[in-house]
A and B are shown apart, each in its own frame.
Chain A
């Protein structure tokens, strides 16, 4: 039997010492409790938004006085959501396509070549993922204003590319590394030129990685607030930034209308998250640590 199966379930043993066993139980209970507390509260928090978005009036009671879907209609016209959704779509598609276009080739170089300055280059690609957007966003916005790009949709796309392109690189590099370079050599030996080798060998092999990377970038870009916030003008706001302004100016519009918009934002994000989770592991959204291989045996 392979060693892989051993990890399947932890062994349960009956005869641990009494007090130690109790302590262990208590500890496990505490951890499970904390986890449940967290998940339940977040779920209720989301539910509160959902309930309010379909409430006629909801002031200080368990449930609202009545139910209605009219806030969605109102929200749609109040916040001009059609335009905002279109901008969001344009920004996200452009960011995904451009980040792949510059990220995948760079990842190929990093995966296949050693060259002087490689560590420095890696650091250059890692930094934008580690430095929070708020820290570099303000100098970036300043430069974009000087280039007359701030306030335009191109400014927003460029700003969002800064974390997106390195993210593609760091997802794709290990992915390319695990593709046997002999496959490329074999294609060359059998007469494929660089172009043919790329289209007939590399691209099909890279497709799953590219799909994963683009979904991850997509989900992250929809939710990325700070950079768009700092660089967008009135016509280049994405959904999350519009939502911020709506919450910020609470009181101007009915809270239910804001919550209806929040629900639309949530729906857009979660649909893509669900699609993404079919192809990637949840931990990939925050880290690029490789899943450790199952030990063979």
Chain B
């Protein structure tokens, strides 16, 4: 076991499961990527997309059906989890209910045969890092959810693993605690600089924590990119959907001019930006509600008219539903008050109307 590494390589890592009727399906299909030292990578996708399977394969809790995992050119995918030495934080924390916080955190060190004298200061340091120094003698059942989560983190990092694996660590916390613990995870990652693979279905978590995001669907990687690019330039419609492009409208392609695509549908004509090669006459435009401008901009380029059919008040702004003159519906964010039945003009910036094949 080692404490540091240059890169962790996943090559066509595949895992299949037996499904009903004796068929096998690939829960994870040929995942290939390289994780560098100190990097924070988020695996993002809806439930059942294969992200937890990927994490369990890396941890050694699941055997691979195909492909290879190597740490600095050394194959590790045949090693059992206890020989890989990665730290893991589980979704339900998986704290040992019969051990005190101190013994939970020290468990990995005991398994490494360290003496009590060596273990105590390390456990104390880990507990102070997660700000739980006063709780060492308690049983997990006596702690709150947020505290249990921090014990789980301390237990994973105290063994100074080359790689920390986190499986939806925040999903059992309430909204406020989730944001606090998120900041905590970012701080700890910053202090220790351990490479981390973080599984989540929450795009905000992935965007705020990760250096790189892997978006997955049905076991297949959709896009591996920086948070900025994933947010602004989804590689395909699935990613766009997942990243909050709530307006997805189908149009006829009327002209393609390099990046610029002209489209029409009903009475609406629109100019968008090509993101993926088209394969026919029809295309789909994905637009975020918050990137639609309420009111006219630049003398009417890409502006559409309609009437407000629904308003969802959201504090700082409102989400309004607009029925366009051609019969299409759009969701937009508006910081000016609107009411049902109001006539309204919306402008869509052409560079933010992303065009994908239908």
Contacts and interface: CB of A to CB of B under 8 A. Distances in A.
Interface of A: 1-3, 5-6, 8-9, 11-16, 295, 297
A1 B61 contact: no
Contact of A1 (B27, B79, B83): B27
B346 to A, nearest CB: 40
Interface residues of B, number: 27
Given A6-B61, A11-B61, 11 more contacts: A1-B51, A1-B56, A2-B47, A2-B52, A6-B62, A13-B83, A14-B78, A16-B80, A295-B92, A297-B47, A297-B52
Given A8-B18, A11-B61, A12-B63, A1 B80 contact: no
B215 to A, nearest CB: 15
B130 interface: no
Contacts of B349: none
A16 B168 CA distance: 30
A15 B79 contact: yes
B91 interface: yes
B63 A1 contact: no
Given A15-B79, A295-B92, A297-B91, A1 B60 contact: no
B170 to A, nearest CB: 14
Contacts of B62: 6, 11
B48 A2 contact: yes
A1 B91 contact: no
B52 A1 contact: yes
Interface of B: 15, 17-18, 27-28, 47-53, 56, 60-63, 78-81, 83, 91-92, 167-168, 219
A12 B63 CA distance: 7
B63 A5 contact: no
Contacts of A3: 52, 56, 91, 167
Nearest to A13: B80
Output the residue of A11, A12, A14, A15 with the most chain B CB within 10 A.
Answer: A11
Given A11-B63, A16-B80, A297-B47, A5 B27 contact: yes
A1 B168 contact: no
B53 A11 contact: no
Contacts of B28: 1
B80 A11 contact: yes
Which of A2, A5, A8: most chain B Cβ within 10 A? A5
B53 A1 contact: yes
A14 B75 CA distance: 12
B78 A297 contact: no
Given A11-B61, A11-B62, A13-B80, A1 B50 contact: yes
A15 B81 CA distance: 12
B63 to A, nearest CB: 4
22 contacts: A1-B17, A1-B27, A1-B28, A1-B48, A1-B49, A1-B56, A3-B56, A3-B91, A3-B167, A5-B53, A6-B56, A6-B62, A9-B63, A11-B80, A12-B63, A13-B63, A13-B79, A13-B83, A16-B80, A297-B52, A297-B91, A297-B168
